Amino acid sequence: MASLSHILVLWVGILTVVNAEAPQEHDPFTYDYQSLRIGGLIIAGILFILGILIVLSRRCRCKFNQQQSLGKMRSPHLAAQFSSESC
């Protein structure tokens, strides 16, 4: 009976070791947050520098800026039409 209990204990120990050394499956929902954070900071830095370069280059010709410049050119004509000399 003692040999049967020794074999049973040995068998349980072997099964425990085999299960502990089984390779773990890759979990697709585990993220590497450090790499994700570094990548996000790099992209944010590149976009920030690109925005500063666009602002400093003054090459962006928006429709909003063109309408303001046309309005400034028309204002002297309007002022001449409604001046006090024409009354």
Q: Does residue 68 surpass a pLDDT of 60?
A: no
Whether 50 maps to a domain, the answer reads yes
> What mean pLDDT is predicted for residues 64-79?
55
**Predicted local distance difference test score (pLDDT) of residue 2:** 61
Give the pLDDT band (50/70/90) at residue 84: low
- Domain holding 60, by residue range, is 1-73
Per-residue tokens: 73: 């050119």
Whether 64 maps to a domain, the answer reads yes
**Predicted local distance difference test score (pLDDT) of residue 13:** 74
Whether 85 maps to a domain, the answer reads no
**Choice between 5 and 48, residue whose per-residue pLDDT is larger:** 48
pLDDT per residue as tens digits for the range 20-35? 665 677 777 788 899 9
Tell me if residue 42 falls in helix, strand or coil. helix
Whether 82 maps to a domain, the answer reads no
